[in-house]
């Protein structure tokens, strides 16, 4: 507990609007979002096995049993139920100076399975959301190629297509946690990751269309938004599995995600997945752009900084229970679930600990196990109502194991910002509420 | 500046004699100049849109925090709901010290120090406010944010029409002979030139041009300092651009151009590509050379105000921290290199204890302290 009070003036902050804070104030039992609230009410109504009175929700005819609802045209583009209105992306306003160059977070604790719904994929922009009419969009290839080319959207859609599910994680995901547990909620600690099925075309086909010269070793990818976002990417990666995507989860990319096209760089840090993609330049050296020098370089304790740390390391997090999603049903049969992923391939195994990492048991992975995609794991157990320190630890198919936060700090110090894949601990109290903590090794 | 030399005196005597906000103390023309400090974030006039800050048409008589579709701070909305209406008095107080008058405002602007500047800019804003009695000048065009005059004069635009009409392209031209699928068309030299603006550490890609520290100071003070601070120290949470040398091993390192960035080419490339925030591509190439020269000066990389940066001497200038960047060696770290079967039973000596608890229970917007957490997302 040593650092708890030292340098944080926010501990008595006046803002009550934050969900995690509210959750804690209510002792967690009242539940965080609308969904959990509804679930809690339902559970209470059913009153479990001991109820003496017939449940009026069953014995009475309800409005929705009697009166017809909206017709087919009322919702031309369907939206989630009104009872899910709190399932939204949230930001942490004090992180950045302006919302046009900022970030928000996916509500991982409200989701299940492996696919992130399009409207909940976290956002990170550097100059706001560009709104581009696809008719006006161009993709250029220039530099060390036989033919410098320009493509319209129509041209791009004539290349052979492929469908792939990949996770995208911001390298700064969990970046606020280097010095210790800071934010209460996996949405804020781990919510800069999403997992989407992309439809698009291979970058390889595009580059071959232009004809890369033998000296061409690097590709600069550039976006069309006001930051003209740029990253240097080795040609091997581009030729291997990178895509230019125009659909996500079956529909057009959302504007927040780079409509009409974005670059897909499987397993590598999210900043490289250039949105509103407008140009590839082929060159013989990296360009040393701002996002690969000033940013996205990892400062170590000795003052040196790693650069080009592209791959996302093996990582996992328990999404339920967690601070925004407390256990509301009391002791008994309980589901622990979470996500695991690795930029180096598939997840081979996930272990769960209930005692802060002293003893581990293998969790059950369910759903598709795909290369560089998130995996869903479950751990079903009978909770005796005592305090728990729950953790998950992922291992990928190459044998890399998710490290503890202490191991990471020992190797890197606390100023790295990026690539924090340390094991997360949630402290589950007897009332079922959860808090972000760190534990002894 | 000379214009203002006499004015504080005039106001000072007015202050002594009469109400300081007497209309006679306000000068809308002078206010237009003062408004340059606001243009990075605000627009006025026809077609004015919300930028970093809300549009400021019809400001006088308007309730605070009420422009549709602008996301205000909670603080500003609360003030408005409590009855704050913008008039001479309330604007004067707000513009003198925004954070003090509206505690928690997200306007990251230190305030106007001179009373004349405040009165002049209010007079200028009145010309766009019907409620102020002076009808909005109908013929006045939208004030585009901060186009640097001097720069514009020297300039050939960096970016030219990106979106050309698809129909211009010869559809009926013979089937292209390139590639495998014969898709796309050859890029024209002008098109490549318009978009190919990236610069590498060896200086390749640099446009021909030059600019001095002294010229850069003028541009920087006018177009960059509102956000990045007069000395590059960063206002509020806007990025710090100068200082921090020798702090990389500290508990709270300050990563700036001088203390951290490996290459000068990145500064030129990034400023030309993305700055000033909210009005990118408004500086001429010479303007970028001079502002980069000034950033070198603010970071003590050059010390002579007469120093001129140009495409000729550019590649010879090294930033101090270049040597401290290393390749990715994460996989050599003990935790990864071992690749052992993970321990399953009794992996820690005794019962596990909590050593630290979440320190930030709420994410309070615009808290006084910027150091915790801030900058974690980069």
B192 and B219 together in one domain: no
B371 falls within a domain: no
Task: Give the DSSP H or E segment for A277.
Answer: strand A277-283
Is the distance from CB of B296 to CB of B214 less than 8 angstroms?
no
Tell me, yes or no, whether B98 lies in a domain. yes
CA distance B71 to B212: 39
What does R_g of chain B's alpha carbons equal in angstroms?
26
- C-alpha B198 chain-centroid distance: 20
Residues of chain A with C-beta less than 8 angstroms from the C-beta of B347: 357-360
- Which among A236, A244, A240, A267 has a CA at the least distance from the CA of A141? A244
Can you give the residue range of the structural domain that contains B160?
156-196
Classify strands A332-341 and A277-283 as parallel, antiparallel or unpaired. Answer: unpaired
User: B168 in contact with A at a CB cutoff of 8 Å?
Assistant: no
Q: How far is CA A272 from CA A230, A267, A421, in A?
A: 8, 10, 19
pLDDT of residue B10: 38
**Same domain, yes or no, for B170 and B116?**
no
How does DSSP classify residue A383?
A: E
Q: How far apart are the first and last CA of chain A?
A: 14
Is the same domain home to B278 and B253? yes
Burial A163-199 (b: 16+ CB within 10 A, else e): ebbbbbbbbbbbbbbbbbbbbbbbbbbbbbbbbbbbb
B183/B294 same-domain check? no
Q: Which residues of A touch B354 (CB under 8 A)?
A: 1, 389, 427, 437-440
- Reported pTM: 0.77
Position of tokens 């405040």?
B118
Euclidean distance between CA atoms A268 and A286, whole angstroms: 17
In this structure, is residue B133 part of a structural domain?
yes
**Low-confidence stretches of chain A (pLDDT beneath 70):** 1-51
Q: What is the pairing mode between strands A138-143 and A149-152? A: antiparallel
Residue B342 lies in a domain: no
B19 and B84, same domain (yes or no)? yes
Name residue A234's beta-bridge partners. A218
- pLDDT at residue number A248: 98
CA–CA dist B295, B297 (Å, integer): 5
Q: Are B119 and B112 in contact (CB under 8 A)?
A: no
- Return residues 65-94 of B near A (CB < 8 Å): 71, 74
User: Of B289, B308, B324, at which residue does a domain stop?
Assistant: B324
**Closest in B266, B354, B369 to A290, CB measured:** B266
CATH number at residue B61: 1.10.760.10
- Of B376, B345, B331, nearest to A342 by C-alpha is B331
DSSP alpha helices (H): ranges in A246-376? none
Are residues B315 and B227 both part of a single domain? Answer: yes
State which residues of chain B have pLDDT below 50: 1-24, 134-172, 361-378
**Same structural domain for residues B39 and B107?**
yes
pLDDT in the model for residue B25: 67
Chain A closest CA to B155's CA: distance in Å?
19
Residue identified by tokens 């890609």 is B205
Domains of chain A: 14-37+311-440 (2.60.40.650), 100-296 (3.90.420.10)
Indicate whether B131 and B192 sit together in one domain.
Answer: no
Are B347 and A359 in contact by the 8 Å Cβ rule? The answer is yes
Task: Report the DSSP pairing between strands A388-396 and A375-383.
Answer: unpaired
ipTM score here? 0.86
One domain for residues B91 and B165: no
Contact A112/B at CB under 8 A: no
Pick the last residue of a domain from B289, B307, B324.
B324
**Distance from the B53 Cα atom to the nearest Cα atom in chain A, whole angstroms:** 9
CB contact under 8 A, B355 and A427: no
Residue A74 gets which letter from DSSP?
A: G
Number of A to B CB contacts under 8 A, please give it.
Answer: 358
User: Is residue B298, in this structure, part of any structural domain at all?
Assistant: yes
Instruction: Confirm whether B115 is domain-assigned.
Output: yes
Nearest to A437 among B181, B255, B354 (CB): B354
**Which one of B180, B355, B377 has the shortest CB-CB distance to A209?**
B180
B259, B245 Cβ separation under 8 angstroms: yes
Let me know whether B214 and B314 are in one domain.
Answer: yes
Check CB contact under 8 Å for B326 and A14.
no
Q: What pLDDT shows up at residue B174?
A: 62
Output the pLDDT for position B1. Answer: 37
Residue B359 covered by a domain: no
In a domain, B148, yes or no: no
A134 in B contact zone (CB under 8 Å): no
Residues B117 and B168 reside in one and the same domain: no
Interface of B with A in 26-65 (CB under 8 A): 52
Residues B243 and B191 in one domain: no
Q: How many domains does chain B have?
A: 3
User: Between chains, do A181 and B363 touch, taking CB under 8 Å as contact?
Assistant: no
């Amino acid at each position: 507990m040593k650092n708890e009070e030292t340098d944080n003036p926010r501990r008595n902050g006046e803002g009550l609007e934050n969900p995690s804070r509210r959750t804690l104030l209510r002792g967690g039992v009242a539940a965080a979002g609308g969904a959990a609230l509804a679930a809690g009410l339902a559970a209470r109504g059913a009153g479990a096995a001991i109820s003496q009175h017939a449940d009026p929700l069953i014995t009475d005819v309800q409005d929705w049993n009697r009166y017809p609802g909206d017709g087919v045209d009322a919702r031309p583009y369907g939206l989630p139920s009104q009872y899910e209105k709190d399932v939204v992306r949230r930001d942490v306003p004090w992180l950045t100076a302006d919302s046009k160059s900022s970030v928000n977070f996916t509500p991982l604790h409200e989701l299940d399975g492996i696919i992130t719904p399009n409207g909940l994929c976290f956002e990170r922009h550097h100059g706001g959301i560009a709104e581009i009419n696809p008719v006006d969009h161009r993709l250029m290839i220039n530099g060390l190629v036989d033919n410098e080319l320009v493509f319209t959207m129509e041209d791009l859609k004539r290349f052979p297509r492929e469908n792939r599910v990949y996770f995208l994680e911001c390298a700064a995901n969990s970046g606020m946690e280097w010095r210790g547990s800071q934010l209460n909620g996996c949405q804020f600690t781990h919510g800069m990751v999403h997992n989407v099925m992309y439809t698009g075309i291979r970058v390889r086909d595009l580059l071959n269309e232009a004809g890369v010269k033998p000296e061409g070793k690097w590709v600069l990818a550039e976006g069309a938004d006001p930051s003209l976002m740029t990253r240097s990417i080795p040609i091997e990666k581009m030729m291997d599995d990178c895509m230019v995507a125009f659909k996500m989860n079956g529909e057009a990319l959302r504007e927040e995600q780079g409509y009409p096209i974005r670059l897909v760089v499987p397993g590598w840090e999210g900043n490289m997945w250039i949105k509103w993609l407008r140009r590839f330049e082929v060159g013989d050296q990296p360009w040393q752009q701002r996002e690969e020098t000033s940013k996205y370089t990892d400062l170590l304790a000795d003052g040196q900084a790693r650069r080009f740390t592209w791959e996302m390391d093996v990582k996992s997090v328990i999404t339920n229970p967690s601070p925004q999603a407390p256990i509301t049903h009391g002791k008994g049969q309980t589901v622990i679930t979470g996500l695991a992923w690795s930029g180096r391939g598939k997840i081979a195994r996930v272990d769960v600990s209930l005692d802060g990492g002293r003893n581990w048991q293998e969790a059950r992975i369910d759903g598709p196990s795909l290369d560089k995609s998130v995996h869903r794991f479950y751990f079903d157990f009978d909770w005796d109502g005592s305090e728990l320190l729950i953790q998950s630890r992922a291992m990928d198919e190459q044998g890399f194991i998710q490290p503890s936060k202490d191991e990471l700090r020992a190797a890197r110090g606390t100023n790295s910002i990026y690539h924090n894949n340390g094991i997360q601990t949630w402290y589950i109290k007897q009332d079922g509420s959860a808090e972000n903590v760190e534990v002894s090794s | 500046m000379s214009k203002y030399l006499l004015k504080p005196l005039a106001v000072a005597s007015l202050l002594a004699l009469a109400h300081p906000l007497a209309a006679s103390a306000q000068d809308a023309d002078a206010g237009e100049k003062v408004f340059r400090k606001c243009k990075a974030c605000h627009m006025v006039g026809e077609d004015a849109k919300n930028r970093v800050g809300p549009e400021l048409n019809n400001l006088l008589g308007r309730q605070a925090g009420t422009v549709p579709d602008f996301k205000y701070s909670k603080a500003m909305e609360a003030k408005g709901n409590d009855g704050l209406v913008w008039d001479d008095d309330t604007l004067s107080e707000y513009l003198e010290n925004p954070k003090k008058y509206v505690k928690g405002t997200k306007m990251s602007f230190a305030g106007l120090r001179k009373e004349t500047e405040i009165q002049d800019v209010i007079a200028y804003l009145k010309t766009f406010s019907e409620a102020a009695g002076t009808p909005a000048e109908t013929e006045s065009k939208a004030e585009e944010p901060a186009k640097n005059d001097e720069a514009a004069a020297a300039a050939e635009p960096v970016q030219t029409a990106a979106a050309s009409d698809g129909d211009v392209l010869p559809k009926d031209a013979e089937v292209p002979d390139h590639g495998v699928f014969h898709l796309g068309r050859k890029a024209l030299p002008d098109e490549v030139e318009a978009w190919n603006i990236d610069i590498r550490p060896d200086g390749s890609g640099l446009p021909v041009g030059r600019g001095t520290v002294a010229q850069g100071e003028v541009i920087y003070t006018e177009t960059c300092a509102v956000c990045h601070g007069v000395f590059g120290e960063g206002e509020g949470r806007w990025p710090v651009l100068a200082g921090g040398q020798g702090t990389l091993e500290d508990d709270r390192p300050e990563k700036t151009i001088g203390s951290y960035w490996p290459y000068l080419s990145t500064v030129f490339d990034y400023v030309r590509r993305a700055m000033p925030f909210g009005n990118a591509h408004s500086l001429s190439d010479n303007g970028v050379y001079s502002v980069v020269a000034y950033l070198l000066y603010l970071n003590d990389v050059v010390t002579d105000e007469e120093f001129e940066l140009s495409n000729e001497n550019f590649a010879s200038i090294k930033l101090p921290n270049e040597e401290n960047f290393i390749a990715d060696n994460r996989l050599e770290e003990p935790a990864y290199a071992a690749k052992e079967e993970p321990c399953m039973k009794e992996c820690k000596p005794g019962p596990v204890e909590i050593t630290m608890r979440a320190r930030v229970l709420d994410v309070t917007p615009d808290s006084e302290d910027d150091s915790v957490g801030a900058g974690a997302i980069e």
